[in-house]
Amino acid sequence: MVRHPISLLSLCAALAASHGAFAAVTLQVVSTVHTEALKGVTNPPADSRQVMEVTLSDDYIAVKKPKVELIYDFKSRRYYVLDTDNKVYVDYSLYSIAGFRTMELKNRENINAMLAKAKIDAPASRQVDREQELSVADDDAVKIDESAGDGTLDFSSEGRKLASWSKAGDKVGAADAARFAQFLRYTQTGHPQLLARLARDGVIPGQLTFTVNTGVGVRTVGISVSNVKSARPPAYDLKGYAPRMAQAGELDILLDRMAALTPQQLAAMRAAHPCDTAADYRDDHLLDTMLGRTECVLATGAPMLPFTPEQLQKMREEPSVGLMMASVSPKNKEEFEGAVKTLAELRKQAPRKAYVLKLLEANNRLRLGQRNESLQLFGEVLEANPVLGGAYKDLGDLLLLTGDSPRAWRCWDIGRAIAPKVPNFTAVNDFEALLLKRHPEFF
């Protein structure tokens, strides 16, 4: 057995070398998946078969399946899901895929460590297996062995098979080979080191097999590639398609509506939900006044409109304002539960801005693990004021906790389009920058 170092650098170099160069290949891919469950595991996933017509272009990948087409745009860092029957599409952030996988990898590592510490008898999960399934790794720490078989290249780790592919295939340029590796990364599977190795040879193999040990079963992904042709496809367009407007599911209705707004429509919506001004101050509605100014911070990212010294003193003496402020930062479960009740009761004293109290309540309920109640409140808040930018950050956080990263990023993208200066979005911006730095192979 011959061992060769495999590095992500080769794939990144191929992508870098392709910048500005024409690269386009079309091919047909047939993927079959079979899962053999481990002993004691019932109801393994059913076998599946997919036929895909694939275009590997200079800055995008298009994958046509029955009734749906996927377009991965590496220039805009978006991906589009086209419903080819109904001629509508939804676009998502590419960051949502890389972001979910990096977080899921860390989550599985933590679970594995906890099971080992607790000495719980559970199927072993190796680092290489987790990285193979998710096609993401933080470094090249795992060791992958390569050997030459009868017309194949075979790859394993610690004596267990990971992948093999035929030596025979279609010779393509470095950029096309790198795009093919990205196609596998986004739609199939493959350890990052293997995908980098695949791209290095500048060949699209006729046959590939990936073996994925999921901890509850062994999944075999067989991939057959045919009809590889050099092509000159035009830049994709969405002519004939319209942004989806969901007819069911309250959250999708809201997100589809907001994502489809033109800049002019967004400006009109902002004008319909203006911030409070100094003239909106009311001695007889101090809680509403405080909530109105808080809302403006969350809607624009601008500093809070200041109070006069006399007004500030009245705010400090107002019981309802004190209760609201105390409910913003509880320290333990008992305080969170009390804050939820308090915020609900305070709505009676806020005839104009009760929905801002619902936003605070939604965040407290989220910390209590009451995700359904929190989701309902976020929906009510954004129906009342759909340009409350900071609320989309919090709603996205909730969706990410449930594993719904595509809609989480939709929320964050909408919120940043509305209010890019809201400081809460700094964490999202920083996370995206980190993904670009650590996992350039996704982009």
H-assigned helices in 31-173: 95-117, 127-134
Which class does domain 8-230 fall in? mainly beta
H-assigned helices in 189-285: 192-200, 250-259, 263-272
SS3 249: coil
Span 416-427, average pLDDT: 94
User: Which range has the worst mean pLDDT, 82-86, 135-139, 433-437?
Assistant: 135-139
What is the residue-wise DSSP string for 31-61?
Answer: EEEEEEEPTT--SPPPPEEEEEEEEE-SSEE
SS3 237: coil
Measure CA 314 to chain center.
Answer: 45
Exposed, middle or buried by CB within 10 Å (0-12, 13-18, 19+), for 271? Answer: exposed
pLDDT in tens, 237-285: 899 999 999 988 889 999 999 999 999 999 999 999 999 999 999 999 9
How would you label 341-364 residue by residue, b for 16+ Cβ within 10 Å and e otherwise? ebbeebbebbebbbbbbbbbbbbb
**How many Cβ atoms are within 10 Å of 193's Cβ, its own excluded?**
26
pTM of the model: 0.88
Q: What is the per-residue pLDDT for 58?
A: 87
pLDDT in tens, 172-193: 999 999 999 999 999 999 999 9
Q: Which of these CATH numbers, 3.40.50.300, 1.25.40.10, 1.10.10.10, 3.30.2310.20, describes 248-442?
A: 1.25.40.10
Residue closest to 358 by CA, chosen among 332, 395, 406 = 395
Q: What is the per-residue pLDDT for 133?
A: 95
Residue closest to 191 by CA, chosen among 123, 135, 127 = 135
What does the block give as tokens for 435? 């993904």
Q: What is the per-residue pLDDT for 40?
A: 66
Indicate the angle between helix axes 389-401 and 405-418, nearest 10 degrees.
170
Answer yes or no: are the C-beta atoms of 34 and 209 closer than 8 Å.
no
170: phi then psi, degrees, rounded to nearest 5: -105, 125
Span 228-235, average pLDDT: 86
pLDDT in tens, 35-82: 987 776 677 788 999 999 999 998 999 999 999 999 999 999 999 999
- Quote the CA–CA distance of 82 and 69 in Å, as a whole number: 5
SS3 398: helix
**How many Cβ atoms are within 10 Å of 17's Cβ, its own excluded?**
13
Residue with tokens 């000159």: 232
pLDDT in tens, 369-386: 999 999 999 999 999 999
155 vs 36 pLDDT, higher one: 155
Q: Quick one: CA dihedral 140, 135, 98, 381, positive or negative?
A: negative
Q: End-to-end CA distance of the chain, in Å?
A: 34
Q: What is the per-residue pLDDT for 21?
A: 41
pLDDT in tens, 95-152: 999 999 999 999 888 887 777 777 776 666 789 999 999 999 988 789 999 999 899 9
**How many Cβ atoms are within 10 Å of 138's Cβ, its own excluded?**
14
Q: What is the per-residue pLDDT for 148?
A: 93
Indicate the angle between helix axes 174-187 and 8-17, nearest 10 degrees.
120
Question: At a CB cut-off of 8 Å and minimum separation 6, what does 95 contact?
Answer: 77, 409, 431, 432, 435
Name the region of 109 (left: φ>0; alpha: ψ -120 to 50; beta: rest): alpha
**How many Cβ atoms are within 10 Å of 139's Cβ, its own excluded?**
9
pLDDT in tens, 215-228: 778 999 999 999 99
> Can you give the residue ranges of every domain in the chain?
8-230, 248-442
Neighbouring-strand partners of residue 25: 56, 230
- Quote the CA–CA distance of 27 and 53 in Å, as a whole number: 6
Above 80 in pLDDT, residue 236? Answer: yes
What is the DSSP code (8-state) at residue 216?
A: S
